[in-house]
Amino acid sequence: MLKAVIFDMDGVIVDSEPIHFEVDKRVMKKCGFIASDDILNPYVGVSNPEMWKDLKEKYNLILSVEELLKLQSELKIEVLNETKIEAIDGIIELLSDLRRNKIILAVASSSPRLFIETILETIKIREYFNAILSGEEVQRGKPYPDIFLKTAEMLKVNPHECIVIEDSTNGVKAALSAGMKCIGYANLNSGSQDLSRASTIVDSICEINHHFMISIM
């Protein structure tokens, strides 16, 4: 039985992956390295500390992980303030439909909590969610299942009673490893992502509703 739906945020609730790509490229440039989308694509869905630890080791970046995170955070808020953020088509309708059907809702995103809260408040949907969890608040980020398992625990539901909506390879892996069904949203702005292991794949959030979710449980 479906009791809870867990949303990734970036690329699912809002089209913010382009913001992350732009900011991460600027951070890399500060370190004297020009990063391409191909370099950054594998990190979609990965928590920032894990991403910068790996990139620093791989490309010998001159800043410490702490400095990289601080610069990224500052630039992200700066870019966010310059950008008009709107919910992805179909999200408001989906949240309303699920709430009408008494489904518990949560956000489990690899972004920092401040960024998550700012986005949800900006597009005025914070009230829909019973729980919010950042990838920086668990021991291991996606593709490990920690964030989804902890979210289910916070919601007081079993993992097999949850459906996750994800747009990244790492997110799909994490959801399935947690024992949850996963809807893969093929968002073109999320880069080259392999969603083939998802329970089902959609090209638009508008394709999803309560009845659709019940059918894949």
| Poorest-pLDDT segment among 5-14, 35-44, 122-131 | 35-44
Residue 62's pLDDT is: 93
Q: pLDDT at residue 152 above 90?
A: yes
Walk me through the domains of the chain, giving residue ranges and CATH numbers: 4-16+85-216 (3.40.50.1000), 17-82 (1.10.150)
Within 13 A of 207's CA, how many CA atoms are on the CB side?
12
Confirm whether 38 is a catalytic residue: no
Q: pLDDT at residue 187 above 90?
A: yes
Tokens 């309303």 identify what position?
Answer: 96
Q: pLDDT at residue 78 above 90?
A: no
Which two three-digit tokens encode residue 148? Answer: 């989804």
In the set 8, 24, 146, 167, the catalytic residue is: 8
- Average pLDDT for residues 99-113, to the nearest whole number? 96
Q: Is the Cβ–Cβ distance between 7 and 106 less than 8 Å?
A: yes
d(CA 182, CA 164): 5
Confidence tier at 80 by pLDDT (50, 70, 90): confident
DSSP bridge partners of 163: 5, 181
Confirm whether 8 is a catalytic residue: yes
Residue 18's pLDDT is: 85
Would you call 132 helix, strand, or coil by DSSP? strand
Task: Select from 21, 30, 55 the least CA-distant residue to 168.
Answer: 21
Between residues 180 and 112, which one has the greater pLDDT?
180
Task: Select from 197, 213, 158 the least CA-distant residue to 7.
Answer: 213
Which two three-digit tokens encode residue 193? Answer: 């992502």
**Please, what is the average pLDDT of the chain?**
94
Residue 47's pLDDT is: 86
